[in-house]
Amino acid sequence: MERKKFVLMFFIILVILAISTTFIYREFLTKKSQEATKIEDELRSIGLMDTHREIIKSGKCGVLEKSERVWVVKNCENDVYFKIFFAEDGYFLGYCSSWNSPREAFLKVKNYLPVKECVNTTEEDRLLRENDSTKSYRVCGLRIVFIDECIVGVGR
């Protein structure tokens, strides 16, 4: 009889834990979804192109930090984040990640870029040009332009 009471109490506790966990997880997903919607609305308000908003949305980001010249969309999947660099005639979207080499940067963010594959994987990476705000590299057969740690352009 004691064993049956113990099993029944154990089962009741497991059911309560399962229900609580489900409720907490649902609340977490709802909050994350609300944050994503808020970020998307903010990006729409500044006239960000639909394709750029979709790219950022696909990163499943959770935080938008705003300053006068740069907005940062972070807490995204796969060690990726995005920067919107404002310019007089529009903006540049930066595809960002922490990296040690330009090739590593490209490989980390390539799924978000229009050019997703190297042209020549054996070509040695090299710095092409550097000025106050940008650096251009030749990486695996591609010309990649960086602002800070972010890729803002890829060409063949």
Per-residue pLDDT at 106 exceeds 60: yes
* Residue 19 parent element (H or E): helix 2-45
For residues 9-33, give the mean pLDDT: 59
pTM, entire model: 0.75
pLDDT of 30 above 60: no
pLDDT tens per residue, range 43-98: 888 888 999 999 999 999 989 999 889 999 999 988 899 999 998 888 999 999 99
The single-letter DSSP state of residue 100 is S
Residues 128 and 143: beta-carbon distance below 8 Å: yes
Q: Which amino acid is at 33?
A: S
Q: So where are the chain's domains?
A: 2-155
* Residue linked to tokens 């404002």: 86
Question: Which residue has tokens 């006068």?
Answer: 68
Work out the widest C-alpha separation in the chain, in whole angstroms. 82
